[in-house]
A and B are shown apart, each in its own frame.
Chain A
Amino acid sequence: MAAPNKGRRSPAAQGRPGRALALIVVVIAALVGGMFYSGTMTPRLGIDLAGGTSFTLEAQNMPGKPNAINETNMKTAADIMNQRVNGLGVSEAEVQTQGTNHIIVNIPKGTDAKQAREQIGTTAQLGFRTVLTAAAGAKTPTPGSSESPKAGSGEKEKGDSSASATPSGKSTPQGRAVGDALKKDDTPTPSASKTPSAPPAQQQPQGAGIPAALQKKLAALDCSTKKGRADAAAQAARAKPSDQVVACEKDGSRKYALGPVKVEGTDVDDAKATFDQQGGQGWIVQMNFNSAGGKKFADVTGDIATKAPPQNQFAITLDGQVVSAPQVSSAIAGGNAQISGGFTQQSAEDLGNMLSYGALPLSFKIADETTVTAALGGEQLNAGLIAGAIGLALVVIYLVAYYRGLSLVALASLVVSAALTYTLMTLLGPAIGFALNLPAVCGAIVAIGITADSFIVYFERIRDEIREGRTLRPSVERAWPRARRTILVSDFVSFLAAAVLFIVTVGKVQGFAFTLGLTTLLDVVVVFFFTKPLMTLLARRKFFHSGHPWSGLDPTRLGAKPPLRRGRRTSAPIETKEA
C-alpha cells in the first residue's frame, strides 16, 4: 500500500485543511453514533479480562483418514460443538474455528467449567437406535397416565408448550417431523408419513417388552426444561451403545425409550441436505452409509418397518439427544436413505451436518484450557489500563518537554487516534466478534509509540526546514511530502508484520497482531487527515508563525542561521526554486 513514491498525489487537504479536519470529526461522530445505535459502549472483553474459561481444541485425524482436517469438517465440528456447549444451559458460549486445525471455545464466567470440559472433551457419539416407545416431552406424573394427553393433539400441544420453554425454536418443527426413509429414493410417499399415528399407538408397545425400570425412567424424564434435557443427554451419552436408554428430543417436545445402537455414526459416509425437485417434498436429507453400515441399516429397517408405531421409528441420537426420529415403511437396502418431512433449508442442513459429524473422521483433544476468575480478569484489565495511562503520561511529558507548543498537535492527534481506536474496537465487537484481550491491550499500548513516532518524523522534518532558514508556513508544506513518505514506508513495514502475524499465528498472538495492525492503519489516517491539516492551520497562527519560544519552532533555538532567516529571507524562496 505504501510504495515510497506513491505520495505524489496532492497531499490531503493541502489547500483545505479545514475539510480534512471536518471529515475526521464527522467520522468520529459517526462511529460514536454507531456505538449508541448498536448499544455497545465498551469493547467486548476477552476471557482473560472478563473472567471465564477458554478451551483450545486441537483436531486430530482419526487413524486411517489422513486428510480429514479441512475447512468444511472443521466448521461442521464447530457447529456441533456450539450446540453441545450451548445445550448445557450456557448462554453466550462462543465457538469458533481458528487457523486450520483448532477450535476455540470460550465460556463466560459463572458457568460450570467442569461440565463444559466434559462435554468438550468427549467425542460426539452419533448412533441409530430403535425406538421402544415415545411420549410427549414433559414429565409424566404417573407412569400410566402418559397416554392421556396424546391422541393427535398431544403432539402439537406439547410442541407448542415446549416452544415457549426453549427460546430458540429454530429446530423445532423438523426435529419432530417424522421422516420417511425411502428405498433408493424411488418411491416417494410423502402423504403416508405426514402425520404419524405414533401417539395413539403407544399403549401396545408400552406393555410389550420394555423393562419396568426403563418405563419408570421414561416417566420421570422431564424434557421440557433445559436442565432436564442436559441431564438426560449426559446420562444417555454415557450409556454403552448396547444399553437401553431414555432420551429427549432435542427441542424437548418428545421423549423416547430407546433400544441399543444398531448402526454407528461412523458408518455414515456422507449426509447432506438437498432440495427434492421431483418428489415435491421440499428439503430432504440424504444419507449414504458405508458397506457395513448399509447392510446393518437394511437389517434394522427391514426389522422395524413391519412394527406398529412408534416402534417403526428409529432415533438418530447425537450426544444422548434425539435429533430426528424418522419412521420407516420398508427395508432400506443399498446404503442410501433419505429423511423427509417439513424441513426448512436451515433445518435440513443442520441435520445433514450432524449426521456428517458422525462420519467426521476427526477427534479433538484439549490443547489449552485457561480459567480466569472475574477477580483476576478485572485486575488484569486494570493493570492494562494503568500501564496504558502511565505510558501515555510519560510520552506526553516527553513530547511537551521536547516539542513544547508543537506537542499540542501531537497530543490532539493522539487523542483523535485513541478515540478512533476505542470506537472501532467497540464496534468490531458486535461486527466481527472482536474481543479485547490482554495481548490486544498490550498491542494498543505499544502502538502509542508507533503513533507518536509519526508526529516526531513530521516535526523533525519541519524543524529541519526551519533550520534551512525557511519560515514556518513553507516549512510545514515542504516537510510534509518527505515526512509522508517516511511515515508510509515505516507504517507499511509495521502493518506487514501485523498482517503476517495475524494470518499465520494462532491464539493470543492473533489478538495482539490485530490491534497492532488496526492502530497502524489508524495512525496513517490520523497523520494524513488530522495532524497535517492541523499543522497547516496552526502555521497561520501568530504564536507558531512568529516562532514564539514556547512554540517549539523558535528558529534561533533550532539553530537556524540568522542571516538566512532575517537578512535574506526574501531570497530564500528563490533558492528553493532552483530545481
Chain B
Amino acid sequence: MSKLGNIGARLYRGEVGYDFIGKRKIWYGISILITITAIVGLAVRGLNMGIEFSGGAVFTTPETSVSASQAQHHAESASGGHQAVVQKLGNGTLRIQISELDTKEALPVQEELAKDLNVPVQDVNTQLVGPSWGEEIANKAWLGLGIFMVLVVIYLAIAFEWRMALAALIALIHDLTITVGVYALVGFEVTPGTVIGLLTILGYSLYDTVVVFDSLKEASRGVTKQSRYTYGEIANRSINSTLVRSINTTVVALLPVAGLLFVGGGFLGAGMLNDISLALFVGLAAGAYSSIFIATPLVADFKEREPQMKALARRVRAKRSAAAAKADPGAGEAEGAVQEGEEPQDGAPAAAGSSAAGPRSRPADRSRGRGRPSGKRR
C-alpha cells in the first residue's frame, strides 16, 4: 500500500510518469483499430437484438425438471412453429423466448406451455412485447443521446473551452462505439437493460474526462506566460498527477458493477441486472481508457495548433537548446535557479513537466508554484 502511495507521490511530482502525450499517436492508432474492429463487427455480425426490440414473448418458468431441449420442443409446438430459444438458468428455472409472437397470440401459448411443462400457469413469468415498443425505447434512447451530447458540449464549452468539449465528445463516441462493438462481436443480447447501461456510460465516461480536464485547466493557467513547458507537456503532467485518482475512481466504480455482474450472472442467470452491468463494465473500462489516452491528448493536439501555443513551443525549444548548449547535462541546480527567476508570479501553478519529455525540476521549485491556492482565488 505504501508503495502505491509512493507511486502516487512520485506521479504527482512528476518523478515517474508515462508520456501519454508523446506516445499519443500509438494510442490513437490502437483506438482507431479498436473502433474499426467494432464498426466492422457491427456491420458484419450486427447486434443480437433481444425480444424487447424485435417483439415476442419471454416466459420464465418456476423451477422445473424439464430439460431445455424438451422445453424447446414444447414451446415450438405450443406456438405453432415459431422459433423458440430456451435457456436453463442457474436456479433450475427455464427461460423461454419465442420471437415474433404477437401479444395477442401469446396468451394461449403461455397456457399450453404451462400445461406441457406441468407448472401452474400463474407461476409463469411472462413478458410480451410488441415490436414497436422496442423501437420506441431505442428511438427515445437515441433522442436522449443526441440531446445529452448537445447539452454537454455546450456546457463543457462554457465551463472549459470548445476544444475540450470536442475532445470529450470524441472520447464519448469512442466509448460508445467500443461498447456496442463488443456487443456485436461477442454476440451479447441487446435488451433495454443494455440500453440503460449504455446511456449510463454517457455520464460516467464524461465524469472521468471532466476530472482530468479540470486538473488540466488548472495546470495550464497562465501557460503562455512561461517558457519552460509546452502545452502538451503540461497536459501530460496533469494526466499523470490525476492518474491515481482516475485509477481509484475506475476501480471504485467497477467494483459495484462487478458485484452486479457477479450476482446477475451467478444467481439469476440472465436478466436486467446482468444486462445493465455488462454494458456498464465494458463502457466504464473504455471510458477510463479514453479519458486518459484519448481525450486529453486530443485537447493537447487541438491546443498545440493555436498560434500562441506554437509560439510557446518554439520558445521552449529555443530555451532548451540554449540550456543544452551550456552543456550542463545534470541540469538540476543551475537550471532550477534560472527557472526560479524566470517564472512569473502567476505562472503555471503546476511547474508541470512530463517526466519523459521535459527536464526534471527540483521539488522545491515545484512546491513553490504548486502552493498557490489556485482553486480558491480565481
A and B from one assembly?
yes
The residue in B257, B272, B346 that gathers the most chain A C-beta atoms within 10 A of its C-beta is: B272
Given contacts A56-B133, A367-B133, A486-B214, contact A449 B272 (CB under 8 A): no
Q: How far is the CB of A576 from chain B (nearest CB, A)?
A: 5
Interchain CA distance A114-B144 in the complex, whole Å: 35
Which 5 pairs across A and B sit closest by C-beta, in order of nearness? A559-B9, A391-B256, A482-B375, A497-B203, A449-B253
Question: Across the two chains, which residue of chain B brings its CB closest to A2?
Answer: B159
CB pair B1 A390 closer than 8 Å: no
A96-122 Cβ-contact flags toward B at 8 Å (1 or 0): 000100100000000000100100010
B224 interfacial by beta-carbon distance below 8 Å = no
Question: Across the two chains, which residue of chain A brings its CB closest to B1?
Answer: A401
B195 interfacial by beta-carbon distance below 8 Å = yes
A485 interfacial by beta-carbon distance below 8 Å = yes
Q: How far is the CB of A10 from chain B (nearest CB, A)?
A: 11
CB pair A468 B367 closer than 8 Å: yes
Residues of B within 8 A of A (CB): 1-2, 4-6, 8-10, 12-13, 52, 60, 62, 91, 103-104, 106-107, 122-130, 132-133, 136-137, 140-141, 143-144, 147-148, 151-152, 155-156, 158-160, 192-193, 195-196, 199-200, 202-204, 206-207, 210-211, 214-215, 218, 241-242, 244-245, 248-249, 251-260, 262-264, 267-268, 271-273, 276-277, 280, 345-346, 363-364, 367-368, 370-378
CB pair A497 B272 closer than 8 Å: no
**Chain A residues touching B, range:** 35 or more
A449 surroundings in chain B (CB, below 8 A) = 204, 249, 252-257
A506 interfacial by beta-carbon distance below 8 Å = yes
Interchain CA distance A380-B274 in the complex, whole Å: 11
Q: What are 6 sample pairs from A and B whose C-beta atoms fall under 8 A apart?
A: A390-B262, A438-B272, A483-B375, A504-B143, A508-B272, A557-B5
Interchain CA distance A389-B310 in the complex, whole Å: 52
A383 interfacial by beta-carbon distance below 8 Å = yes
B148 surroundings in chain A (CB, below 8 A) = 496-497, 500-501
- Summarize B's interface: helix, strand, loop or mixed: helix
Interchain CA distance A394-B9 in the complex, whole Å: 25
Partner of B371, one of A376, A383, A558, A575: A575
A201 interfacial by beta-carbon distance below 8 Å = no
Given contacts A453-B249, A496-B148, A559-B6, contact A369 B140 (CB under 8 A): no
Interchain CA distance A449-B206 in the complex, whole Å: 14
Interchain CA distance A386-B258 in the complex, whole Å: 12
Partner of A402, one of B1, B62, B210: B1
Interchain CA distance A509-B259 in the complex, whole Å: 21
Given contacts A369-B103, A439-B276, contact A394 B258 (CB under 8 A): yes
Q: Looking at the complex, which of A131-139, A325-333, A487-495 is the stretch in contact with chain B? A: A487-495
Given contacts A467-B12, A509-B199, contact A439 B193 (CB under 8 A): yes
Question: Across the two chains, which residue of chain A brings its CB closest to B60?
Answer: A376
A481 surroundings in chain B (CB, below 8 A) = 373, 375-376
Interchain CA distance A402-B255 in the complex, whole Å: 14
Interface positions, chain A 344-388, Cβ under 8 Å from B, are 365-373, 375-376, 379-380, 383-384, 386-388
Partner of B126, one of A366, A371, A394: A371
A395 interfacial by beta-carbon distance below 8 Å = yes
Instruction: Report the tally of A-B residue pairs with Cβ distances under 8 A.
Output: 307
CB pair B4 A373 closer than 8 Å: no
CB pair A496 B151 closer than 8 Å: yes
CB pair B158 A504 closer than 8 Å: no
A48 surroundings in chain B (CB, below 8 A) = 272
Interchain CA distance A395-B195 in the complex, whole Å: 25
B378 surroundings in chain A (CB, below 8 A) = 5
Partner of A558, one of B8, B251, B364: B8
Q: Looking at the complex, which of A226-234, A427-435, A457-465 is the stretch in contact with chain B? A: A457-465
A307 interfacial by beta-carbon distance below 8 Å = no
CB pair A387 B127 closer than 8 Å: no
Q: How far is the CB of A137 from chain B (nearest CB, A)?
A: 32
A420 interfacial by beta-carbon distance below 8 Å = no
A448 interfacial by beta-carbon distance below 8 Å = yes
Question: Across the two chains, which residue of chain B brings its CB closest to A394?
Answer: B255
CB pair B207 A494 closer than 8 Å: yes
CB pair A512 B196 closer than 8 Å: yes
CB pair A369 B128 closer than 8 Å: yes
A483 surroundings in chain B (CB, below 8 A) = 375
CB pair B345 A442 closer than 8 Å: no
CB pair B13 A467 closer than 8 Å: yes
Q: How far is the CB of B345 from chain A (nearest CB, A)?
A: 7
Partner of B123, one of A58, A373, A389: A373
CB pair A380 B203 closer than 8 Å: no
Sample of 9 more A-B contacts, CB < 8 Å, known A457-B249, A493-B156: A102-B136, A366-B103, A368-B133, A401-B1, A449-B256, A481-B373, A493-B207, A509-B137, A564-B367
Given contacts A395-B252, A497-B203, A508-B272, contact A390 B373 (CB under 8 A): no
Given contacts A501-B144, A579-B372, contact A390 B259 (CB under 8 A): yes
CB pair A373 B62 closer than 8 Å: yes
A540 interfacial by beta-carbon distance below 8 Å = no
Given contacts A380-B268, A448-B256, contact A490 B210 (CB under 8 A): yes
Q: How far is the CB of B168 from chain A (nearest CB, A)?
A: 9
Q: How far is the CB of B205 from chain A (nearest CB, A)?
A: 10
Q: How far is the CB of A350 from chain B (nearest CB, A)?
A: 30
Interchain CA distance A3-B363 in the complex, whole Å: 33
CB pair B253 A504 closer than 8 Å: no
Question: Across the two chains, which residue of chain A brings its CB closest to B159?
Answer: A4
Q: How far is the CB of A481 from chain B (nearest CB, A)?
A: 4
CB pair A489 B272 closer than 8 Å: no
CB pair B255 A486 closer than 8 Å: no
CB pair B372 A460 closer than 8 Å: no
Interface positions, chain A 437-451, Cβ under 8 Å from B, are 438-439, 442-443, 445-446, 448-450
Question: Across the two chains, which residue of chain B brings its CB closest to A559?
Answer: B9
B141 surroundings in chain A (CB, below 8 A) = 505, 509
The residue in B192, B253, B256, B262 that gathers the most chain A C-beta atoms within 10 A of its C-beta is: B256
Question: Across the two chains, which residue of chain B brings its CB closest to A369?
Answer: B128
Given contacts A398-B252, A494-B203, contact A387 B263 (CB under 8 A): yes
